[in-house]
Structure 1
Amino acid sequence: MALKRQLLWVMGSVVCLLVIYMLCLNTQWRPSSSSYLLNLKTWPVSNSKDALLRWSDFVQDDLAATTLLDLAGAKQTAKPAQDQIKNDSLSGSDGVDKAKRTTRAPLAKPARPPGPTEPPYIGDFYMSENIPPQTNCPDGIRSRIKESEFGQLFLEHIPVLQWARHVTQEQHQRLKRYPGTHGWGGIDYDTLMDTLTVLNSSANWRMLDDWDSRKNKSACSRCAVVGNGGILKGSKKGKEIDGHHYVFRTNGAVIKGFEEDVGSRTTHYTFSTNTLMNSMRSYGGVGYNGPPVSAETRYVFLPDHDRDYLLMKAASTHTLVLRGPERNKDPTRYFGKDVSAAKLKMYHPDFIRYLRNRFLRSNILNGRYRSIYRPSTGAAMLLAALHTCDQVSAYGFMTPDYSKYSDHYYDKSYHKVGFFANHDMRMEMRVWQSLHKAGLITLFMRNETNLN
């Protein structure tokens, strides 16, 4: 009898194991969400193309910490979602606004258990605007970038500039979680309202606002983006730079005495209030006394503090700055007596966060300095031109042989290029090389073998 009981127990155990095995085959196992939380110390983000695609191809809901899909499995099931939350249609050339809401693109089912989630400070989730193109260029950047290695990073309808329509309570709640240039953290709603409501014309939301009068029968807009790198010294590129429809400059852009190498025109000047004041203190001895001032110059703020909004409001209304480090200062001192709201623009924080998350995703975001990391002012300017111009030529940006040149073209003696924790200049350099190789920009280099 004891032997029979043992046999029955063994047979019962085998049957139970078979039942459990069949249930496992027919049930998709999912790990607990807590087992896949991102560990910043163990989850590396490389600078490779594959890593960039991995982080950016899918909708990331920073409110709910949506899980990141596996790239290989998702490519078999769906096209990448556009990661944008709102579609504001601006139809017609007169700037008549027709608001239209869209839902997020559906998530594809992962082919395997989901991977780690994005940390909430990334926020790869953006506003969308359907702005009609200004040109009918048959071979512009926007038509070519989609077929390039940057195609999966590129969002065609992300707003580059912010203006009156963008400041709402809903948008303030969404963006106040992101500090510095990447959102409205630390900016109270009243300050936003006071500033952005004065940016209420098409000149404020169009980077190339005077294209109709400037194009001179051209089908494509040509932009020169001029950095301040020492590679420009002795280049004799001034005439070539001034020959473009638009000329972008930034920060300590010393022009007088260097026209032969860097040109003399400035249509767009990009800066933050902090970089403007620092440039005036640091480069006054070599001739920089403030931004270029001319009838064609537009001033593009890169806001990283409420002081940018306060200076913008004062400049647009010809009043003194109300508070902050620039309190009681007269903005016409920097932008000239003829400055008006039509000459002022301000980058949208979604756009700067998008550049950081997709084009310039640095390992710094995994470390102790992640809260201060952002694209350099020159990088934001160059990538803004990439998103608004049909053809872009870049001058004075860092190339692999940067150690041969001084930090700036106007340096009186050689100064080694400096590197700081809030920017990843070497990564930016690699991106410029890749954009040049892809034919999306023309990068000025003294030695074309840099690309090999």
Structure 2
Amino acid sequence: MSFVRLALWFRPLLVFLVLLFITYYKGTNKSSNSSMLPCGGLLTQHKWESLNLNISRQTHLFLEMKDFFWKKHPSNQTLPYGIKGNEPLLLKIFSSVQVNYKVPDNIENLRCRTCVVVGNGFSIKNTSLGSAIDKHHVVIRLNDAPVRGYEEDVGGKTTMRLFYPESATYHPNPENNPDTLMVLVPFKQEDLHWLKAILYKEKIVSKGFWKRPPLKWLGDTSKIRVLNPHYLYQTADRLLHIPLHSNNRMSHVVFCLFVLFPKPVHPTTGILAVFVALNYCDVVHIAGFGYPSSKKQNHRIHYFGHDTIKSMKNSYHDVEREADALKRLEDLGAIVFLHPHT
């Protein structure tokens, strides 16, 4: 009698385990050409725990007024890693009805988001990944990387494009979709002044930029978003473990670090985009990442244009450190490359 009762007690558990196995099998039994991977809750949670990066999907991707206005504990970091000292300027920017922080509902309400970060590297050339890339819910592109003419390899869909004023284009519409979110990465105060001038149709001052930004911008300002500097800070501090240098007066400790490391190092837009995707997406694929061997100084580094590895000689990026970080993320299963890489 006790055995019968025990069997009846275990029956619901057995049914649950069978259903769980069937669901998992259906999710994983897909062709290798599919750009979608299963969003198993336990699997996803395990990835985040393995990363040990304090990743929180509760943090908004984009700045909004409540992040810096009426806040008890304002940011203690200056740009590019915080908004300290720029609150009045941001208040003016967000007073414009043209800028908001929302992600389209059709993406925000997804129970499982599959995302791909398309890097600008030469490694994506001749991969024919375009159709696989476009199948993802979210496609993140970087700076002024072109799409037209390269669709077979890089796809034609763009959900978000991370950029700086120096990498903005005068007329962004041809290389983006009508609903593409143009995500400004504020690196210095001049970047915010540029955005404010765009929104209020003021004269743009090009002083303070390493490359002259567009003095006019024909894009849809309602699609502009401002990335929360929290993500650049976390990318530098938690993922890359690089010393952080403030743009304002340096503390004694930071000054000592600056003496030891005379040239400050900052994350690339690419590794930043990967970290953003890890926070926002359940499945993260990447393509077009990786640089050729530094011994091949004339090797092209982008799938477009003619820049070579030699042009990165005076770069403020540590590409070897970033390559190690990507390898670590890949080994943990947090990201998946869509093409072979070294």
Are the aligned partners of 2:330 and 2:336 in contact in 1 as well (CA < 8 Å)?
yes
* Structure 2 equivalent of residue 352 of structure 1: 232
Shift of 1:184: 2.6
Identity %: 22
Task: Give 3-state SS (helix, strand or coil) of 1:210's partner.
Answer: helix
**Do structure 1's residue 434 and structure 2's residue 290 form an aligned pair?**
no
Decide whether aligned partners of structure 1 residues 372 and 200 sit closer, same or farther in structure 2, where only a CA change above 3 A counts. farther
Shift of 1:406: 2.1
**Do structure 1's residue 204 and structure 2's residue 101 form an aligned pair?**
yes
* Structure 1 equivalent of residue 79 of structure 2: 180
Shift of 1:156: 4.5
Match of 1:161 among 58, 62, 73: 62
Alignment of 1:61-80 (within 5 A): none
Task: Give 3-state SS (helix, strand or coil) of 1:231's partner.
Answer: helix
What is the CA deviation profile of residues 217-272 of structure 1, one whole-angstrom value per residue up to 9, with x for unaligned ones? xx421111101001011111111111111211011312222111111111100011
What is the CA deviation profile of residues 365-389 of structure 1, one whole-angstrom value per residue up to 9, with x for unaligned ones? 7444578432111111111011101
Q: Which amino acid aligns with 1:307?
A: E
Are the aligned partners of 1:237 and 1:262 in contact in 2 as well (CA < 8 Å)?
yes
Decide whether aligned partners of structure 1 residues 271 and 413 sit closer, same or farther in structure 2, where only a CA change above 3 A counts. closer
Are the aligned partners of 1:164 and 1:199 in contact in 2 as well (CA < 8 Å)?
no
Are the aligned partners of 1:233 and 1:261 in contact in 2 as well (CA < 8 Å)?
yes
What is the CA deviation profile of residues 407-450 of structure 1, one whole-angstrom value per residue up to 9, with x for unaligned ones? 10124586557254522111111111111111111123434xx4
Q: Which amino acid aligns with 1:358?
A: R
Query: Who wins on radius of gyration, i.e. which is larger?
Result: 1
Are the aligned partners of 2:160 and 2:183 in contact in 1 as well (CA < 8 Å)?
yes
Q: Separation in 1 of the partners of 2:295 and 2:337?
A: 17
Match of 1:331 among 217, 238, 253: 217
**Do structure 1's residue 296 and structure 2's residue 179 form an aligned pair?**
yes
Q: Which amino acid aligns with 1:428?
A: E
Q: Which moved more, 1:254-263 or 1:392-401?
A: 392-401
Q: Which moved more, 1:374-383 or 1:291-300?
A: 291-300
Alignment of 1:234-253 (within 5 A): 234-253=126-145
Q: Which runs of 5+ in 1 are unaligned?
A: 1-135, 281-288
Higher relative contact order (CA 8 A, sep 6+): 2
Q: Which amino acid aligns with 2:338?
A: F
* Structure 2 equivalent of residue 30 of structure 1: none
Alignment of 1:121-160 (within 5 A): 137-139=39-41, 143-148=45-50, 150-160=51-61
Q: Separation in 2 of the partners of 1:268 and 1:200?
A: 17
* Structure 1 equivalent of residue 88 of structure 2: 190
Q: Separation in 2 of the partners of 1:347 and 1:235?
A: 30
Match of 2:154 among 262, 269, 273: 262
Q: Separation in 2 of the partners of 1:328 and 1:416?
A: 26
Shift of 1:195: 0.9
Q: Separation in 1 of the partners of 2:137 and 2:295?
A: 32
* Structure 2 equivalent of residue 422 of structure 1: 316
Decide whether aligned partners of structure 1 residues 139 and 199 sit closer, same or farther in structure 2, where only a CA change above 3 A counts. farther
Q: Which runs of 5+ in 2 are unaligned?
A: 1-37, 207-211, 246-256
Q: Which amino acid aligns with 2:64?
A: W
Decide whether aligned partners of structure 1 residues 144 and 421 sit closer, same or farther in structure 2, where only a CA change above 3 A counts. same
Task: Give 3-state SS (helix, strand or coil) of 1:204's partner.
Answer: coil
Task: Give 3-state SS (helix, strand or coil) of 1:146's partner.
Answer: helix
Are the aligned partners of 1:228 and 1:409 in contact in 2 as well (CA < 8 Å)?
yes
Shift of 1:308: 2.7
Decide whether aligned partners of structure 1 residues 193 and 392 sit closer, same or farther in structure 2, where only a CA change above 3 A counts. same
Q: Which amino acid aligns with 1:251?
A: N
Are the aligned partners of 1:164 and 1:198 in contact in 2 as well (CA < 8 Å)?
no
Task: Give 3-state SS (helix, strand or coil) of 2:286's partner.
Answer: strand
What is the CA deviation profile of residues 120-164 of structure 1, one whole-angstrom value per residue up to 9, with x for unaligned ones? xxxxxxxxxxxxxxxx9533885233331x125434544432112
* Structure 2 equivalent of residue 120 of structure 1: none
Q: TM-score, normalised by structure 2?
A: 0.70
Q: Separation in 1 of the partners of 2:273 and 2:43?
A: 16
Decide whether aligned partners of structure 1 residues 221 and 274 sit closer, same or farther in structure 2, where only a CA change above 3 A counts. same
Are the aligned partners of 1:140 and 1:391 in contact in 2 as well (CA < 8 Å)?
no
Q: Which amino acid aligns with 2:217?
A: P
Q: Separation in 2 of the partners of 1:390 and 1:354?
A: 19
Decide whether aligned partners of structure 1 residues 321 and 307 sit closer, same or farther in structure 2, where only a CA change above 3 A counts. farther
* Structure 1 equivalent of residue 278 of structure 2: 386
Q: TM-score, normalised by structure 1?
A: 0.55
Decide whether aligned partners of structure 1 residues 212 and 248 sit closer, same or farther in structure 2, where only a CA change above 3 A counts. closer
Q: Separation in 2 of the partners of 1:321 and 1:210?
A: 34
